[in-house]
Structures are given as structure tokens and as C-alpha cells.
Structure 1
């Protein structure tokens, strides 16, 4: 019997090391950044068995066979729809500013989506203002409402939005609601689901979380977009989930979440509508392309070109990451960034450092307290080299700063759903707007300045004197940046 157990032990060890060797070979042969590969190797070897399991769950982009097949088949018909936008009179590359011109070239060549002029933009930064504006537009809806969110958390004004949707459906408006399964568990356990379905609303869980699907699809691949489109006339996107901050995560110890939304009218609405239709088909297999935008434009008015930049499985890889890098490289005076989760790739880190070393004023505003302890410590692992390169870092004390924004030279900005971490830039379904509108950008700049006034500036000399415990935790959680 002792010999049998001895043999069983040796066989188990041999099997485990064969498994580790196989996973190691797979990590090495995958084409991705060296830093990500090295991080995975560290996790695999430092955490026996658990590290290998983590790689199977989170290590590779796996949408699942049905969704992957749909996304592949969809690309041609959606590409044809996007391509028709180039014939629209609102695509005016000759009148675009230098910043957005190159982004239009990139997105048009890779995805077929051009920047379109003739939009009106409204920056909303008060939760009450945002939710009441959404309710008002829902009450005016006549034909259709399309919504996709990562989080819908019942309570407060979010319930008023749900009631407005039910009333809209009862008067004949076609309402389609797509919510991420992992982000909205409380909603899917609430009575709102049955009430909405009884009213005729199509409610769909995106990327359903289930123990049976763990090894069939990457678990942390999430539907992270926030889009509302009403009658293909009005749209919203930005950083805010469908929550009332006064009723959301009140016990987490980070304060209220600070967010923005952008209310849009004009041809960009139809592009955002198409992105929702893309997500709906990936999840359900049902295709409903929106109408093409009105191509009339008044040449005497400000044109406000906007480029919609989506990303996610089935779409061109790393498009938002490329747009971000292109925007930062074009800066001549300043770059100011707000993000709740800052765990940059090696490429983005070097871009920020090099930009500051060019003499550009680079400012980074992130929350002092984060709802993810791992992200909070991993973020701080980058402070030393950023500060040494001349980047100014501010920690925001007024709550969890959830706004995702980049302002370039006070003339051009990016706003949307994208965090400065590898999951947002490389993995999730995301969307951002590249906006060439100086008045709107100035509003965004003023809002960012108000964040700085509620922040503490990190001093490089003081930062070097932080405790050994802090340094250890920073380096420890930095190793897990592929999972953050």
C-alpha cells in the first residue's frame, strides 16, 4: 500500500509539472506584451495549482464559440452599414482639427467608422441631473429605446428610470435592455425583471455568469459599455452606470461614485445605436440595424466632429488603446487624465513618461480610496517612475472618482467607459467618444480642475519615504496586473 501511495504521489507531481510545462509553453507562444507574459509566468509558478487554474479562467480572450461565431459573421454586414457613413455629408475630413483627423483615419481604416460632424453635446456631471434628463427623454420616446449597462442597481432614481421604461413599453415603445450578468446581479434578483418583462420589455443578461460556463468562456470578460439611444434621435454615454449613487455601495468606505454622462444629438446617435445593435446580436443572435443618420448639415454652424470608438471581442483588436496612444502622442501642451482604475500596460506607461519628458504637462487624477484593494496598491506601483518622469499625480478625496476622461491641449478630449487598465483597453466591450469641440472640451477641463481642487498632490520626495510595507504591497499586487 505504501508503494501505491508513493507511486500516486510521484504520478501526481509528474502530471502537475507536465501541466505547468504545457501552460508555460502556451503563455510563451501567445503573441502579447512581454510584461503580461512574465506576469502570468510569475502567477503560475508562485501559486501552485491556483496559478494554472487562473490562467485557464482569465489568461486568454475566449468569448465562447456561439458568440465568437456570431461576431465573425456580423462583421461584414455591420461593416457595410458603417461604410455607408463615409458617403454622408456630415463626414467632413477637410474641416477636422488635427487631433481628430488622424483618429478618423485610424478608425475608418480599421473599423469603417468615420468621425461625423453636426452633433450637439451636453456634459452632465450631477447624478440627479443625469437621471432626470434620462427620465425626461424616455417619457418623450415614441418608437424605440435601446440601453446597455454594466451595472443596474435598484434604488432611488434608478427605480424612476425603470418605471419610465415600463410606461414607455406600455404605450408601444420597443424597449431593449442589455445588462451585464456579473455587474447587475442585484437587479436580476429584483422584482423589476418580471415587471419589465410583463410590460413587454426585452431584458437580456449579457455574458451570463454560470458555473457551467467557467471553462467555456473567459470569466472576467464583461459588457462594460454604457449606452442609451432613444428613437435614434438622442443618445447618452459616459462613465455612469444605471445607479443612484446615494443608494449604491454605501458601505464600501469609498464615498459616493463621481461620474459623468454626455447627452448627444446628431449623426453620432445612429453610430451609438449601431454599437448597441452589435452587442444585442452578439448576445441574442437577433439583428436589428438602425436607420442611417440624416446627412443634412448647416455649414454656418460649428461642426463638432465626434468619433465613436468601440472595442471588444470580434472588433479590431486594441482600437481604443491605439486611439488613446495617438491622442497623447499628438499633444503639444498638456494631457490631463481622470480614471478610477490605473493599471497601465507597459506601452501606455512608456507613452505617459515620454510625453512628460517631452516637456508636456501630464496630469493624472485618480481616487485616493478604491473599491478594489488590489487595484489601489497595483496603481501605486507605477507612481515612482511616473513622478521621476515629470508626471503630476493627484489623489482625489471627494469620493470614488469614476469619470473616465482625457483632455489634450484644452482643445480635444476623450470621454467614455474606458479605464486605464488592461481589461478595459484589451478585453472588455467598451466605447469612447473622441470629441473635437473646444467649448465642450473646456467644460471637461473645468470639471477636471474641480477634481484637482478636491485632491492631494503626490510629492516625489515624500513618496520615496513611504514604508517598506507599502512598497511590498505595491510590488505584490503589481504581479497580478493581468487580472486587474
Structure 2
């Protein structure tokens, strides 16, 4: 091939993709990261951009979501008035957050919930099994990862028993996160027993040209009979049998068991995801008693916050920023993956300048080397500003939680990184209840006991090679 032709193709790739990237009008950091990649490696960068550069979900999925919005608008209008939390029952800091989410999603905060925070995986799985064994009508389960082994297999046995009693059992798992499970004999056995098992966001060599493959279903939801629900950071795994060779120790998670009107919101979210993946009739599914209004049984006000690529893509990010700016005295965050964008970093730095005690609890070891380096590139700025960063040493801390002044709690599946903000389908509970806030804060402080604080002076002694790796990884943070 003549050199002049190679130069021409090279220029066309760079100019064409540069124009495309700029015209998408995404955050500046994301745009610059893609431009750096395309200029440095034109052919490889162009191929990567075609595969994962834009949030293509596929026409069929988009059409199904559009049709569902009509049904969900009707469902929201039928919510009993006494189930909707009134602003008068919230403290002053909670009201702006509640209104933000109502304006962005149309989903109100629901009153009268009882929340049980669970931080021992074995206890959580046993509780789920016990609730499934009491199920009469429906068992709906949605997870990013379902992994065979240990107590997780006993959950499957409970589902089989429920199906045998006549309960409708549905399992929705991510096609990549649960790829091993979907190929297992256990899934074939579940299906043979009448349990519907569906892979969300399937992948394939042809599909990759029409749908972005790294957009994943990261939610963790269990809904039993429309009366009991669970959500949080725990995948359907027994940590004793999960990623034992990764060198990070056992994964440490937390879930919340919910009774009350908020169960209906999580049930509606499951049905949304199920219909989008299967195309089943939403009216028929709503008649399976998974969307009944549960009675008020407690005092917690809970707002369910779904997010993902599409119309709700910025909601969680906006909620995080608003929560940080709402803090007056204390902000505690736990997350396994911490790669903040510029706006989130600025919010954290400004919080310390207002006198807020900011603590970020991270696992000492994580299962991604690139994310580890990108995460640590932010430490110096945060430590200099007065943020306390501590590394959990009791395993891979996977709990995703934020407490604001011990009164407001954000709890769910969202990591503090661009992937959770804009690429994955997530769910967060925004809880306006001092009692739950205190319990979640107490759990965060227990995590802080098994930690080692990051020291700025020690950080400044690290090698130039280490600094270079961190700063290089930071350039690609918006793409992680």
C-alpha cells in the first residue's frame, strides 16, 4: 500500500472520529480521554470507539422502554396517597433530595417502611431462603452475578421448592456477569422445574455491531410475593466459593431487607427489567400479585432510584452531588471502586472546606489493577484537603453506602466511578430516616475499625514510576 494512501487513511480516521467524539457533547474528561486514545492509536482507538464509545442499547430495547413508560405512569398515579411521604415528615436536608428525584424520575418517596440492615452474607442468604420458603405467589430475583457453590446453591433449592408449591419464580441475571452460571447444569435444572431464567443484555459476535457490549445489568433485587424485598451490594454468591484465586480475600457486602410500600417500587423495577428483556405482556405480569401495595409497617421514608444508560443516566450522579453539598458536619462513603469525575471531586474538596468531616473507606485490594492505580491518583488532592481515606483490610469491601450527617443514607449497587454513573443499570435507595442512617453509619464505623489510614507523607515518598502509573491510569478514568 503506498505511503500516501496510508497517511490519507490515517488522517481520515483521526479527523472523522474526532468530529464524531466532539459532536456527542459528553463530559469534557470523557471526550478528552477518547481523543487521546484516537490520536495515539488511530486504528485501535477507532475500533474501541465503535465497540464501546457510545451507549447503543438496540432499537428493540428502546422501543420496549418507551412503551413501558405509559404503564408505569399509570402505576405511579394509582399509588395510595397515604403511601407517599409528605415533605412535612422529612428533615430540611432531605426535602431537596426528594424533590430532585421526583423531578428527574417521577418516583416519590414512600413512607412507612421497615428496613433490616444485614452485613453477614451467610445470614443474608439464609434470610432470603427462609422468605422464599414462605412464598405463596411470586419469587423474583435479579442479580449481576450468580455464582454456584455453598449457600448460593441452597437458594436455588428453595426456588425449586417454591415452584413446586405453585409460586411463579423468575430469575434475571446479567449475561456476562453470570455467564458461568447460565451455562451450568444448575440452570438447566431450574428451567426443568418450571423456573424462568433469562439472561439480560446478551452478547454475541453479530450483536456487538448494533449494541454496546459493556453496558451491564448491575442491579441486585429480590422481591417475594410483593411483600418483602432485598437490595444492596451482594451478588447471589457465597464468598467462600467466589473468586478465591483473585488474591483480594473474601468479598464483604451488605443488604437491606425491606417491608412496606417501598417493596412495590422494587417490584416495579424488576418487572420493567423483565419486560425489556423478554417482551412479555406487562399487564399480565402486573396481575401476578407482585405490585400490590404493602401496608405501612415502619417509619422509614424510602425513595427507589433506578439509573442506567438512557433517560435516567444522570440521576444517580446528580443525587450524589446533591447529597455531598447537603452535608453539614459529616460524610462517610464506602465503595470498592473510586474513580470520581471532576464534579464529584470538587464536591468532596469543597465539603472539607466547609468544615465537613469526610471519610472514604475503600478496600486495600481490588480485582482491577487499572482501577486501583486510577483510584490512588486522587489520594494526594483529597488528603491535602483534609479528607480521611482508610483502606479496609478484612477482604474486598464491596458495600456501596453513603451517610450524610448520620441522617440521610444512600445504599444500593452504585460504585463511585463512571461505569456506575453512566454505563451500568443500577439501583439506589435514598433513605430519609435517622434510625436507619444511624445503623448504616454504625456499620461504616465497624468497617473503619479493620483498616489502615492512608498517610500523605508516606504517599509523597512513593517512586516516580508509581506516580507515573497512577497519573496515566487517571487519564483513562472517564472510560473505566
TM score, norm. by length of structure 1: 0.95
Deviation string 1:80-114 (CA, Å, 9 cap, x unpaired) is: 21233373444322212223322221222221110
> Does the aligned pair in 2 maintain the 1:234–1:263 contact within 8 Å?
yes
Instruction: Select the residue among 167, 178, 193 that pairs with 1:173.
Output: 167
Q: Aligned residue for 1:243?
A: 237
Q: Aligned residue for 1:385?
A: 381
Deviation at 1:77, TM superposition (A): 1.7
Q: Aligned residue for 1:365?
A: 361
> Does the aligned pair in 1 maintain the 2:144–2:217 contact within 8 Å?
yes
Q: SS at the partner of 2:93?
A: helix
> Does the aligned pair in 2 maintain the 1:413–1:436 contact within 8 Å?
yes
Q: SS at the partner of 2:246?
A: coil
Instruction: Select the residue among 320, 333, 357 that pairs with 1:324.
Output: 320
Structure 1's unaligned 5+ residue stretches are none
More displaced, 417-426 or 58-67?
58-67
More displaced, 135-144 or 43-52?
43-52
Two-structure CA RMSD over aligned residues (Å): 1.5
More displaced, 388-397 or 138-147?
388-397
> Does the aligned pair in 1 maintain the 2:334–2:362 contact within 8 Å?
yes
Deviation at 1:155, TM superposition (A): 0.4
Deviation string 1:262-318 (CA, Å, 9 cap, x unpaired) is: 0000000000000001111111112223665537548xxx62101111111344331
Deviation at 1:130, TM superposition (A): 0.5
Query: Within 1, Cα distance between the matches of 2:158 and 2:412?
Result: 25
Q: Sort the Cα spacing of 1:384 and 1:273 in 2 relative to 1 into closer, same or farther, 3 A.
A: same
Query: Within 2, Cα distance between the matches of 1:64 and 1:115?
Result: 31
Query: Within 2, Cα distance between the matches of 1:256 and 1:427?
Result: 26
Deviation at 1:437, TM superposition (A): 1.9
Q: Aligned residue for 2:331?
A: 335
Query: Within 2, Cα distance between the matches of 1:20 and 1:420?
Result: 32
> Does the aligned pair in 1 maintain the 2:113–2:296 contact within 8 Å?
no
Q: Aligned residue for 2:94?
A: 100
1:294 aligns with 2:293: yes
Q: Sort the Cα spacing of 1:460 and 1:402 in 2 relative to 1 into closer, same or farther, 3 A.
A: same
Q: Sort the Cα spacing of 1:468 and 1:83 in 2 relative to 1 into closer, same or farther, 3 A.
A: farther
Instruction: Select the residue among 22, 32, 35 that pairs with 1:28.
Output: 22
Query: Within 2, Cα distance between the matches of 1:293 and 1:166?
Result: 24
Q: Aligned residue for 2:57?
A: 63
Deviation string 1:41-96 (CA, Å, 9 cap, x unpaired) is: 11112223111111111211111111112112222221221233373444322212
More displaced, 102-111 or 79-88?
79-88
Query: Within 2, Cα distance between the matches of 1:365 and 1:412?
Result: 18
Query: Within 1, Cα distance between the matches of 2:179 and 2:310?
Result: 25
TM score, norm. by length of structure 2: 0.96
Q: Aligned residue for 1:217?
A: 211
Q: Aligned residue for 2:119?
A: 125
Query: Within 2, Cα distance between the matches of 1:481 and 1:362?
Result: 22
Query: Within 1, Cα distance between the matches of 2:243 and 2:296?
Result: 44
Query: Within 1, Cα distance between the matches of 2:13 and 2:81?
Result: 54
Deviation at 1:368, TM superposition (A): 1.1
Task: Give the 5 Å matches for 1:154-193.
Answer: 154-193=148-187
Task: Give the 5 Å matches for 1:61-460.
Answer: 61-85=55-79, 87-286=81-280, 287=282, 288-289=285-286, 293-294=292-293, 297=296, 303-460=299-456
Query: Within 2, Cα distance between the matches of 1:399 and 1:375?
Result: 17
> Does the aligned pair in 2 maintain the 1:227–1:235 contact within 8 Å?
yes
More displaced, 163-172 or 306-315?
306-315
Deviation string 1:216-263 (CA, Å, 9 cap, x unpaired) is: 111110000000000000000000000000000000000000000100
More displaced, 328-337 or 39-48?
39-48
Query: Within 1, Cα distance between the matches of 2:80 and 2:92?
Result: 19
Deviation at 1:186, TM superposition (A): 1.1
1:463 aligns with 2:459: yes
Q: Sort the Cα spacing of 1:83 and 1:17 in 2 relative to 1 into closer, same or farther, 3 A.
A: farther
1:476 aligns with 2:472: yes
Q: SS at the partner of 1:228?
A: strand
Q: SS at the partner of 1:313?
A: coil
Deviation at 1:339, TM superposition (A): 0.3
> Does the aligned pair in 2 maintain the 1:72–1:314 contact within 8 Å?
no
Q: Aligned residue for 2:44?
A: 50
Instruction: Select the residue among 5, 12, 21 that pairs with 1:18.
Output: 12
> Does the aligned pair in 2 maintain the 1:143–1:174 contact within 8 Å?
yes
Q: Sort the Cα spacing of 1:124 and 1:455 in 2 relative to 1 into closer, same or farther, 3 A.
A: same
